[in-house]
Amino acid sequence: MPKKTKKAKLIAEYRRKLQSLHSVPTQTLPQTQSIPSHEVFTLPVVTPKVQQSHVVTLEETEARAIKKDLTKTLIIVSLFIVFEFWLATIL
């Protein structure tokens, strides 16, 4: 649940004051004071700007380097897995 903004807090406080004024009998209120009417407050609608995604292109050398690193990583990981299975069968 999102946190309340300052405007929302002020509106809630104003609403509580109005409810307390309405709950007080009119005989105790001074005659010169008038109860303010309810005002409708609407927040402006803000639409977020959508950023257009840019196409990322890799050069051939970058693609080869990534492929080379990925194959090295896969080989090392597979060697560790084989080593663990080998240790499990020995022990």
Instruction: Work out the average pLDDT over 37-47.
Output: 76
Say how far apart CA 51 and CA 35 lie, in whole Å.
48
**Distance of CA 17 to CAs 36, 45, 63, 73, 91, Å?**
11, 27, 66, 66, 76
pLDDT of residue 43 exceeding 80, the answer is: no
32 pLDDT band, cuts 50/70/90, is low
Per-residue burial over 54-84, b = 16 or more CB atoms within 10 Å of its CB, e = otherwise = eeeeeeeeeeeeeeeeeeeeeeeeeeeeeee
Domain ranges for the chain: 64-91
Cβ atoms of residues 53 and 39 within 8 Å:
no
pLDDT at 75: 97
